[in-house]
């Protein structure tokens, strides 16, 4: 199975600053990569699919890039509601697999 590794485990950033989250796949997933945001007590929310396409209703400050094995989620100017846990997921091969998550916290 494809192993997804996210870094860092925790990222401390001040509101208004840029956050960059990384996700690495153990083998190529092409562009079959999604990003999710999860807040405590809530279901995950799809942010990005196809590595770089924003899902419906997702603000433009969220952007995704990469292909193959290296991917990045960038949040250009952090708002208070963006502090949460972020997961990447590959859906190229069965089983689909998630990264372990990056917790984005307020600095």
Partner 1 sequence: QVQLVQSGAEVKKPGASVKVSCKASGYSFTSYGISWVRQAPGQGLEWMGWISAYNGNTNYAQKLQGRVTMTTDTSTTTAYLELGSLRSDDTAVYYCARTYSGYDYWGQGTLVTVSS
Residue (35 or 83) nearer to partner 1, CB: 35
Residues that bind partner 1 (CB under 8 A): 32, 34, 36, 38, 43-46, 48-50, 53, 55-56, 87, 89, 91, 94-101
Strand partners, 81: none
* Contact in structure between 35 and 47 (CB atoms under 8 Å): yes
Residue (76 or 91) nearer to partner 1, CB: 91
Residue (43 or 60) nearer to partner 1, CB: 43
Smallest separation (angstroms) from partner 1 to the CB of 34: 4
Strand partners, 95: none
Structure tokens of 21?
């989250």
Nearest to 61 by CA among 50, 47, 77, 73: 77
Smallest separation (angstroms) from partner 1 to the CB of 15: 26
Smallest separation (angstroms) from partner 1 to the CB of 18: 24
> Is the bond preceding 30 in cis, omega lying within 30 degrees of 0?
no
């Amino acid at each position: 199975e494809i192993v997804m590794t996210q870094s860092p485990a925790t990222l401390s950033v001040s509101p208004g600053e840029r956050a960059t989250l990384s996700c690495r796949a153990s083998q190529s997933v092409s562009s079959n990569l999604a990003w999710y945001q999860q807040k405590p007590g809530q279901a995950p929310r799809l942010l990005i699919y196809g590595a770089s396409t924003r899902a419906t209703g997702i603000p433009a400050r969220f952007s995704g890039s990469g292909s193959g094995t290296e991917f990045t989620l960038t949040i250009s100017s952090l708002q208070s509601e963006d502090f949460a846990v972020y997961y990447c997921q590959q859906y190229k091969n069965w089983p689909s697999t998630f990264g372990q998550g990056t917790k984005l916290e307020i600095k």
